[in-house]
Structures are given as structure tokens and as C-alpha cells.
Amino acid sequence: MSLQNIKVERTKVDYADLRSDYHVALYVQEAKAELAQTGTILEISGEGDILSDEIKIGKRVFFDNKQIEVHSELEYDLQRKRYTFKTGELAIDKGEFEIVGGVDVDQKRIDLDFKGINTSFQTINSLLSSDLSKYFSAYRSKGEIYFAGRVSGTYDGQHLPKVSIDFGAKNASFFHPEYKKQIKDVNFTGHFDTGKRNHRSTYRLDFQDFYCSLEDKSLRGNFVLFNFDDYAIDLNLVGEADVNTLLLLFSREYVKTALGVLKMDLHINGKLENPSLTRNIQANGSLGFQNISFVLTGEKLPFNKINGVLTLRNNDLAISNLTGFVGNSDFILNGFINDISQILLTKDKTYQMQADFKSQYLDFDELLRSNFASRDTAQAKAAKYEFTISPTVSLDLNCEIENLRFKRFEGRSIFGNIIIKNEIAQLNKVSFSAMGGRVKVDGTVNSKNKNVIEVWTDANLFNINIDSVFYVFKNFNQDWLVDKNLKGQLDADVNLYLTLNKNLVFNSHSLVANINTSITNGQLNDFEPIMKLSKFVEEESLAKMRFSQMTNEIRIENEKIFLPEMEIKSNVSNILVRGTHTFDKKIDYHLSVPLKSFIKISKKRDYNQNARQGMNLLLKITGTTSDYSISFDAEAIKDRFTKDFKDEGKEWKKSSIRNLSLLRRH
């Protein structure tokens, strides 16, 4: 019996095996077949065009929306329910495949051999599941690329057939049409096998004797991926590559542009799954950076001229003379990081780093607005900063910075140690030159609270220009006493506590400070409250007050500055001053000045200087810095009068006792 010219057109075939989790959906556009029977054997030959909607095995989808051309001759044994492919040719995405072997429907067993004919990278990619093939679909290849394999074994609901594939490339090249870059001279041999137990745990993928050239650079190595239940790798890679070529060939997700050369000599082996538990990843070798420059996606500042060597030994990373620029800032870094593999592969893994950091110039304004700002606050044209200390950082850093700029602050010759752990930064013996003098600082910055940064500081200031302090700190957000009014050199011991928010905005309510100060060669120029005393003193003297030294212990708390009584020895007089000054600009100052200093000396009248010896003028300055008054200090005068009266009474009593004692003797 025979049938000829059998035609099938516009027919959909849909088959699902829920127990085995298979699904096949095909659309036969047009097919022709011939059938002949001899005994229990059906001989079938045919050809046709089939559109594969999907062939799904488990979660993987194969032949997703693929056009397939079929040419085949097969036999079907009606008694044994077995298909035998005498010839089977498939054309998919311009790739050709040959299939021979058999499928036993009754025994649910498959034995098929397949190979590619005139294959290309696209041919192999068409065999991958759709979730994998989409990453490589744009790539093209030239040269000899081959593969051949075998599928054999039972395919019931509890078992899958064994798969073994040999593949490789000889003098091939791969390129991406959009980027116009290519990997040339590609040679390797590969093998995939499902292993003895035909289970994911015994799957193995090998790339051996790999070699390729990128531009004028070359790479060689071997790669093994095994145990697909608990992925493990064994990678050897030696050579160098142009980073721009690597970037163009693979991914732009994190890096926008890149230049320079990356030199590699790496050996990595171990498990990728649960590395924090297994700790089986071992990394050894080195990475060299040669004039590498790049810009990260979303960043404003470029990383330029990065040079140096990273050396791996048993997962520990040594950083040797890593130099470069971030924007205008430069750096030299030498250090050591423990267990780098755990950091890369384990989420929220704390890394421990010891390092020496040097820089000729750091521009913190630029750095904080760009590469190291929070993505929530680094808005276009924004000047916001957001400061955090990562909980995954454990750092012991010795710093040596020649110049540093942050807002109005300019520091030089900065030395010290910073220890960061558990979201706390500890500053140890940090010293720097700034504002005309030298500063030494020990302190703590605590960012554990997500909304507040706490700062404790002990600082020693030596020979600092006081007008520079007021300028750097923008006159402490007041305009009553500003940098142009002040001159002199400041020595101080400062102990303070304060808090800031994440944008480094100071919370004035939190400030508590004790400051022991000494100002030498001081000047108080054109200070309005003093100038208003000109009706008593020559105006020229008040406009340019000079004092050789002034010392005091100042306390700041509850937004109020407490100024204990101190003596100012000036060119005008020896003045006693005490008082308070609140952050909302309320002032209450009390002055005691020898009266002779505050009465103008008339050229026409002669005053008896001796008559004024020991007398003081008691004044007060009260109100706000924008609306204040100068008046006699009635309370102080009353207190002084009471004290003087008591003192005179005591003296009269003592004198009377002495006189009475003399009379008794006589």
C-alpha cells in the first residue's frame, strides 16, 4: 500500500505532557509527504515549512517563534511503535542540521545523533532556550564552527535522556554589527555532557585551549562549568584586552565608556552557589590596569589614567600602586582586602581593608556631588550631599593628602588614620594645615542612625587666623560679628558634640562644646557696638582696637554661647567682658571699663587724673544683633555699690577695732 501527494496546510499541532512537563506547539504552514507500507513498517518521506510557536521542557523554552524547514525519511514500526530517522534535515535560522536515530514511543526511549552542517554561531544560538539566546542574537560569526551530539535514554516523567555534545571553533571570528568590533582568531574545543547520573549535579561544560585576539591583544585559557545544581567553575585566563573592545562586545549596563588595557593572569575555581556557606571559591593571579579611563552609567565624573596591579592569593586581594584620577582628584592606593570572592558573590558581605592612601589634591565638592553622592540627592544642578557609611565596610586607612578642598575649606599636609567599622568612622591623630595654622583632631562620626549623623571631636588649634575661621564657616550664619571685623591668631582646645542630617546640614540644637581659647595680636575693627561708644572715646581708637592677648573658657549649649568674665588688654583700655549670645541672635553682654578710658580728653580743660583712679564705667549691650541698645548696667552698679559699701563697712569695723585696741594699751 502507498499514498502519494499527501498535503497538509495551515494546521496547528498542540501537544502537552503534564506529567513530564513538556509542551509542543507547532503550526504547519505547508507540508508534502509520501507513505508506503510493507508489513508492519511504514515508510514516510516528506518536506515542509513549520512555524514553531514553542517547544517547552520544564521552564526552558526552545525554538521560540522559529521558522523550520524539514526534509526527512523515516520508518515507523507499527508493532514496536518505533520511529527510525533514516535521514532528517532541519534548516533553522539559516543553519542546517542532520538527525539520525530512533524514538521508541512504547518504551519511551530516544537514541538520536545530530550534527551541524555549515554551521555558524547563529546556528548554535538557535538551539539555546529563548532566555539565553536573546543575549547573543545580534552577534554574527565567520569561520569554522562545528558541533555534533547524541541524545539517548529514557524520557518518561521521572527520567530525562542523556545528552552529549562536542563543539568548537577554528579560526573563527565573532562581531556585533552595531559596535563594529570583533573577536578574531577564535579557536577552542568544547564538550557538554549530562554525566553518569544524567542529573543536573553531574552536568559539565568544558571550553579547552581557548584562544582569541581582540584588536591587537590576545587571550587564552580554559573554562569548566560543572554541577549545575550547585554551580562550580574552574577558570584559567591569561592575556590582555582593550577594555573598550570588551565593553562594546559585552555590556553597557554599568559602564558608559572605557579606554585602556586590562592585563589578566587569573585562576578561579570553586562553587558559585552559597559561597558564604561553602567558602569554596579560590581566586589567584593578577589584574593589571594600564591607562584605563571610564565613566560609569549615571555618573558625572570620569575615572582617568588608572594604573596599578591587583594581586589575588587565596582570595585575598593586594592592591599595589593603584593610581589615577576621579575628576580633578588624584589618588595613590596601596592596601589589602580579605576574602574578595565573598564580597563579590555574597550580598551584604562586610569586607575588611587595610590601606595607605595618598593624594596631591582632593576636590570633595566635586566628588560628593557626583560619583559618591546618593542617587536620590545627586540631581541635575543640585548642590545636595548625602553622607552615609556603608555597613559592609571595615576599613583601616592611613591618609596623606597634600591639598583638600571642601566648600570654603582648604586644607594642606593632611595626615592621619581613619578606622571605619559598623557604620562608625574613627579619626585618629589627624592633623592638617589650614586657615594660617595647624589643627590636630581626634573624633568619631557615627552614621548608624539612618536619619542622624553624630559627631564627637577633640581638636587642638595652633596659630589659626581667626578671620579665616569666620570666613570658612560663613561667619557662623550671622552678620553681627564677621570676618572683616577680626584679626589675630587663635590657639584653642575644643571638645564638642553635634549632629547633622544625611545631607550634612548642621542641627544647632544638638551642639555642646567646651572651648579653651587664647587669641594673640588681636584686632577688633569697625565693630558697630564698640563704635557706638565714640561719644566717650576717640573714634579712631575704637575703630581699630588692638589687644596683645585674650584668653577664656567658652561653653556652647542649648543654642547659647556662654562667655565667662575675661580681661581684654587693648590699646583703649583694660576691659572686663562677660555675657551670652544665643543662636537666634539675642545678646546680653556686660562690660566694665576704667572710667578714664571712656571720657574724652579736652585740650581746654585739665582733669585731675588721680581723682578718677580705680573708677569703672559699667555698661551692658542687650537686645538682638540687629536691634540692640547700649546702656548703664544698673544691676551691676547696684551690686558694685552694695559690695563696695560692705567692703567699706568691714574696713571701718577693722579700723575701729584697731583704734580701740590702741586706746586700751595706753
Count of Cβ atoms closer than 10 Å to residue 281 Cβ = 22
Q: String of b and e for 578-596 (b: at least 16 CB within 10 Å)?
A: bbebebebebbbbbbbbbb
Judged by DSSP in three states, 128 sits in: coil
Domain limits of the chain? 1-177+189-197, 388-525, 527-632, 641-666
pLDDT of residue 202: 85
Say what the alpha-carbon torsion angle 192, 197, 198, 204 is, to the nearest 10 degrees: -20
Q: Residue 645 pLDDT more than 70?
A: no
Q: What is the DSSP secondary structure assignment for residue 179, as one 8-state letter? A: T
Element (H or E) spanning 209, and its range?
A: strand 204-214
| Residue 139 CB contacts under 8 Å (≥ 6 apart), including other chains | 121, 122, 125, 174, 175, 176
Specify whether the CB–CB gap between 72 and 87 falls below 8 A: yes
| Distance, CA of 615 to CA of 598 (rounded, Å) | 11
pLDDT tens-digit series, residues 237-295? 999 998 887 776 665 667 788 899 999 999 988 876 654 444 567 889 999 999 999 88
What radius of gyration do the chain's Cα atoms show? 43
**Confidence class for position 57, pLDDT limits 50, 70, 90:** low
Quick one: what percent of the chain has pLDDT higher than 90? 29
pLDDT digits 0-9 by tens, 169-183 = 999 888 766 666 778
Q: Distance between CA atoms of 312 and 294, rounded to whole angstroms? A: 23
Query: Structure pTM?
Result: 0.72
How does DSSP classify residue 379? -
**Least confident window among 124-128, 147-151, 607-611:** 607-611
**How does pLDDT run across 455-501, given as a tens digit for each residue?**
999 999 999 999 998 888 888 777 888 889 889 999 999 999 999 98
Q: Output the nine-digit C-alpha cell for 636.
A: 551691676
If phi > 0 it is left, if psi is from -120 to 50 it is alpha, else beta; for residue 203 that is beta
Tell me the average pLDDT of the chain: 81
Give me the mean pLDDT over the 631-656 stretch: 62
Going by C-alpha positions, the residue among 151, 258, 152, 162 that lies closest to residue 202 is: 162
User: CB within 8 A of 225, min separation 6: which ones?
Assistant: 204, 205, 231, 232, 233
Grid cell digits, residue 53 = 510557536
Q: Which residue has the higher pLDDT, 443 or 637?
A: 443
Closest CA to 236 of 201, 194, 207, 212: 207
Query: How many CB atoms are closer than 10 A to CB 426?
Result: 16
DSSP string spanning 539-583?
A: HHHHHEEEEEEEEEEEEEETTEEEEEEEEEEBSS-EEEEEEEEET
Look up residue 269 and give its three cell numbers: 575555581
**Lowest-pLDDT choice from 135-149, 181-195, 274-288, 636-650:** 636-650
pLDDT of residue 660: 47
Say which range, 36-50, 132-146, 160-174, 520-534, has the weakest mean pLDDT.
Answer: 132-146
The grid coordinates listed for 439 are 589643627
Who's near 420: CB < 8 A, 6+ residues apart? 389, 393, 394, 395, 397, 426
* pLDDT the model gives residue 208: 94
Predicted local confidence at residue 663, as pLDDT = 45
Beta-bridged to residue 307, according to DSSP, are: 323
